[in-house]
Every structure is written in structure tokens, then in C-alpha cells.
Chain A
Amino acid sequence: MKLITAIIKPFKLDEVREALSDIGIQGMTVTEVKGFGRQKGHTELYRGAEYTVDFLPKLRLEMAVSEHMLEQAIEQLCTAAHTGKIGDGKIFVTPIEQAIRIRTGESGDSAL
């Protein structure tokens, strides 16, 4: 089992969700986050004051997938979240030791 953590542009959420549902991924957790990478921020001007907004709003998606789904999920995610412009985001993959569905007590792949 792997945990996919993806940072994406907020307006891409619906496309990403659809693309992942299409291949049978049944759940994800979405968090509104702020951060910066190579995109840096942008400047806003209020009367005389110019502010550099360093932290841009992004969404963090987390989903647990079984090993055989991993490649396909990443592919779908990349395609759906892609705009080609700087600031499209990143995907991190980490191993999961154990997963348990609270309602039934199932564990492992069947809990995903």
C-alpha cells in the first residue's frame, strides 16, 4: 500500500477527482493549504503599498492506494492536474504500513 500526497492547483480539483474515480479510486482527503515552490508569489498593489504574496493557495490531496494501482493513479493525476505552467504542483509517494477500516475492522488492501 502506498500513500499518494499531491499538491495541486485549486481549480484542478474536479478534473483530478474525476480522473481518479475513472480508474476506481474510491476516496481521498482534501486539505486547503498554502505554500510556495518555484512559482514564488505574486504582487498585489493597495494604494501605495505593494505586497508580495509569498504563499499561494494550493490543495493537498491524500489517498491510499494498493501497489498495483499506483502507476495508473499517478499517471491519471499528472494528466488531470497538468497545465504546463509553473506551479502545477508535486506528487509524493510514501509507503503505508497498515490501513484499517474503522467500521468493519478490515485491514490491508481490503480496507482501502
Chain B
Amino acid sequence: MDKADLAWVSISTLLVLLMVMPGLALFYGGLVRSKNVLSVLVQVVSTFALAIVIWFIYGYSLAFTEGNSIMGGFSRLMFSGMLDLSTNKFELAGTIPELSFAAFQATFAGITCALIVGGIAERVRYSAVLLFTVVWLTFAYLPIAHMVWAPGGWLFERGALDFAGGTVVHINSGVAGLVGAYFIGKRVGYGRESMQPHNLPMAMIGASLLWVGWFGFNAGSALSANEIAALAFFNTLVATAGGILAWVLVEWKYKGKPSLLGAISGAVAGLVGITPAAGLVGPGGALLIGLAAGAICLWGVNGLKKMLRADDSLDVFGIHGVGGIVGALLTGVFNAQVLGGPGLDSASAIPGQVWLQFEGVLITIVWSAVVAWVAYFIADKVVGLRVSAEVEREGLDIHSHGETAYHR
């Protein structure tokens, strides 16, 4: 075991935790109306907690143990065989205890589930979120994580590149959020009433914590305190800066004003874009990926959103889905050594790699969409996916959770 690696992966795990609590929670919370802020916070926190528990019981085993090319096996149920406390023997994953690897990966499963909440926010029933999370995590996240990351996994063996989870986390959750937005329908008054964010400074704090935490997400995915971690670390810095600038400048040119919401959305877009590429491209490639993600995600929440006609409340698909796709495809480009990357040794290998990346994207989209639809269907039949119109008007905070964020 390598102590430096263990320390880095442990810190990275904490950083990913910080991304969700309070990062993502505050980012989402600030973007909804004040009557629903607590409902979003509690949904983010509880889906994360639920995912961690499922991860411990069977999630890790199904995602990361040997099985077939789609799903792992049951050999690590309840982490069995991972550690023997009577003899103080801990199995290793690479140079760190497997327990630490499982903890790090647990936070990934958690944040993916929490991200989806943004697509159905402000009208979804709390119990339906929990039920959906159980089904979707089990039948979408676990197999896709296995296919992409586990040796023997379908996409892994074909050679699709995904350093820190562009497909597994972002495309996966983005698609599930979009399907949810279609399934649950638009919010009452959508397009007619003002649904402006109730607290942009809160969203700004959340986005900032996301950026900080994302260094654990990306650089921690090296699973070692090594040069690749250093590369992923810097790439996470420069791509995000690119994402912010691209979004703000394009918004300024075409919408008239550079906005704070634009700046923080650009940051998240850049972060999502660099995720699959973090340790697989050079810093120049990272900057270009960040710029591209920032500009294209701005289209994702404008032109594309209008075309899709779904009320994806917090633009989970527009940013995480679109940014994930941009990042996944460009990883196949900038991975090439001629473009400053550490991978493909000739330019002629780029189209083949991009095709592999595209395949991975497509499989993730279809898989996640189908499972998400079924999971929403089940949640709808069992507890009802959506609250009543009256409750929605009054706000989920007081009705579903019996508390309000602000005194009036």
C-alpha cells in the first residue's frame, strides 16, 4: 500500500462529498423559487445518502467485481471479503485499500443520483425521488459504471475513454433528468409565470464549491498521487476557466449582457466537459475542451432547450448531458499525441477513437433513457411522481417537508 496515494484518494473522496454537500445542493437550491429551496436541498442530500447505502449493500459489488460485460457479480455484497478486521487484513485496489476505492466511487454514484433531481425539481414527490433513485441506480448507474470502468466491461474492453465519468456520471444523469422532465411534465405556469432563481449568490457559492470539489473528482480519479493526478488537476483548473469565459463572452455578444448565472453555468459546463478528458489530454486540449463546452452548453440551455420542449428545470441535460457529450467526443480528439495528449500515437487514429467515444455516448444515452423511463413509470404507479397542482402552487417546502426557508 502507498500511503501518499491513500491520503490523496481519501482527500479526493472528501472533495467529491463537498461537491454534493453543500456544493450541488446550494447550486440547485439557489436556482429554484424560494418556496421550493428546501425541497431541492433535501432531495439532493437524501438521494446522495440513499446511493451511499445501496453502494455498500450491493452497488459496489455489481459495478466493480468480475461478472459479465454488462454487470459485475455478487462477491462483494456488503463489502464481504474486502477487509478482515480479525486479522487486520485489507484487500488492495492498486496501491490503496479497496475500501478506500469503494468509498471514493460511492461518492460518484451519490452525486450522479443527486444531479438528476435538477430535471424534475419543483414538482416531484419526495417519495418518488427516492423510489426512482433505487431503481435507476441499480439498473442504469451500476451497469454503465461496470461497462465503462470495470475490466471486462463492454465499453472498457472496446477502448472507450472516460477518465473521471463524463459518460458514467454526466451523460447518464443528464439523460435521466431530461427523460424525467418529459415524463413529469412542465411546472405549473411554465412559460407564463416568472420562475427566476431566488438566490443567485447562493448558486454562486454552490458552483464555487463544485469547482473546488471537482479537483477531487478529476484528479482523484488517477487513484494515485502521481503525475496523471497533477495533469488532471491543472486541466480541471484551465478548462473551467475556459468554460466561464466562453459562456460569458458568447452570452454577452448574443444576449446583450454577461450574467453571473452565465458565468457559473459556464464553470459547470467546463467542469463537465473536462471530466472524461482530465487525465487523458494535455493542458492545451483541456482549455479548448473547456471553451467548447462553455459555448455549446449555452446553446444547450437556449436553442436546444427550445427544440426539446421539456421543462428541464435546472438544465441537467443542457449542461451535464450536452457538456458530457462534448467532453466525451473531444477526449477522443485531444488524446492524440500530435495534439498534445498522452494517448493515440498518430493523427490517423483520431477518427477511430472518436467513433468509439460516440458509441459509448450513444449506448449511455439509450441505456439511461430506457431505464429512467421505466424507473419514473414505476415511481409514478407506486407513489405518484408528481405532487398536486395545489401543492405545487403553495410550494413543496411547507407541504412536503413542513418547513420554510425564509420568514416572511
Q: Which residues of A pack against B, CB within 8 Å? A: 44-49, 51-53
Interchain CB contact under 8 A, A45 and B301: no
Interchain CB contact under 8 A, A48 and B305: yes
- With A51-B195, A51-B196, A53-B194 in contact, do A46 and B318 touch (Cβ < 8 Å)? no
Interchain CB contact under 8 A, A48 and B259: no
Interchain CB contact under 8 A, B195 and A47: no
Q: Which residues of A contact B301 (CB under 8 A)?
A: 47-48
Interchain CB contact under 8 A, B196 and A46: yes
Tell yes or no: B340 within 8 A of A by CB.
Answer: no
Interchain CB contact under 8 A, A46 and B302: no
Tell yes or no: B397 within 8 A of A by CB.
Answer: no
Q: Within residues 302 to 316 of chain B, which ones have a CB less than 8 A from any CB in chain A?
A: 302, 305-306, 315
Tell yes or no: B393 within 8 A of A by CB.
Answer: no
Interchain CB contact under 8 A, A45 and B255: yes
A61 to B195, CA, bound (A): 30
Please tell me which one of the listed residues A45, A49, A52 contacts residue B195 in the complex, with CB atoms under 8 A apart.
A49
Measured CB to CB, the nearest residue on chain B to A52 is: B194
Tell yes or no: B257 within 8 A of A by CB.
Answer: yes
Interchain CB contact under 8 A, A45 and B259: yes
| Given A44-B194, A46-B261, A53-B194, 5 more pairs with CB closer than 8 A | A44-B196, A45-B257, A47-B301, A47-B315, A48-B301
Q: Which residues of B contact A52 (CB under 8 A)?
A: 194
Interchain CB contact under 8 A, A48 and B306: yes
Top 5 A-B pairs ranked by shortest CB distance?
A48-B302, A47-B301, A51-B194, A48-B301, A48-B305
Q: Which residues of A contact B306 (CB under 8 A)?
A: 48
Tell yes or no: B201 within 8 A of A by CB.
Answer: no
Main secondary structure of the interface of B (DSSP, over half): loop
Tell me, rounded to whole Å, the shortest Cβ–Cβ distance linking A32 to chain B: 13
Give 17 A-B contacts (CB < 8 Å), ordered by A residue. A44-B194, A45-B255, A45-B256, A45-B257, A45-B259, A46-B261, A47-B261, A47-B262, A47-B265, A47-B301, A48-B305, A48-B306, A48-B315, A48-B318, A49-B196, A51-B196, A53-B194
Measured CB to CB, the nearest residue on chain A to B302 is: A48
Q: Which residues of A contact B256 (CB under 8 A)?
A: 45
Q: Which residues of B contact A46 (CB under 8 A)?
A: 196-197, 259, 261
Q: Which residues of A contact B302 (CB under 8 A)?
A: 47-48
Measured CB to CB, the nearest residue on chain B to A49 is: B195
A99 to B338, CA, bound (A): 87
Tell me, rounded to whole Å, the shortest Cβ–Cβ distance linking B279 to chain A: 30
Q: Which residues of B contact A45 (CB under 8 A)?
A: 255-257, 259
Query: Which of B194, B257, B262 counts the most chain A CB atoms within 10 A?
Result: B194
A107 to B261, CA, bound (A): 56
Q: Which residues of A contact B318 (CB under 8 A)?
A: 47-48
Query: Which of A44, A48, A52 counts the most chain B CB atoms within 10 A?
Result: A48
Measured CB to CB, the nearest residue on chain A to B299 is: A48
Q: Which residues of A contact B194 (CB under 8 A)?
A: 44, 51-53
Q: Which residues of B contact A53 (CB under 8 A)?
A: 194
Q: Which residues of A contact B255 (CB under 8 A)?
A: 45
A48 to B302, CA, bound (A): 4
Tell me, rounded to whole Å, the shortest Cβ–Cβ distance linking A18 to chain B: 31
Q: Which residues of A contact B265 (CB under 8 A)?
A: 47
A15 to B51, CA, bound (A): 58
Q: Which residues of B contact A44 (CB under 8 A)?
A: 194, 196
A48 to B306, CA, bound (A): 8
A49 to B33, CA, bound (A): 14
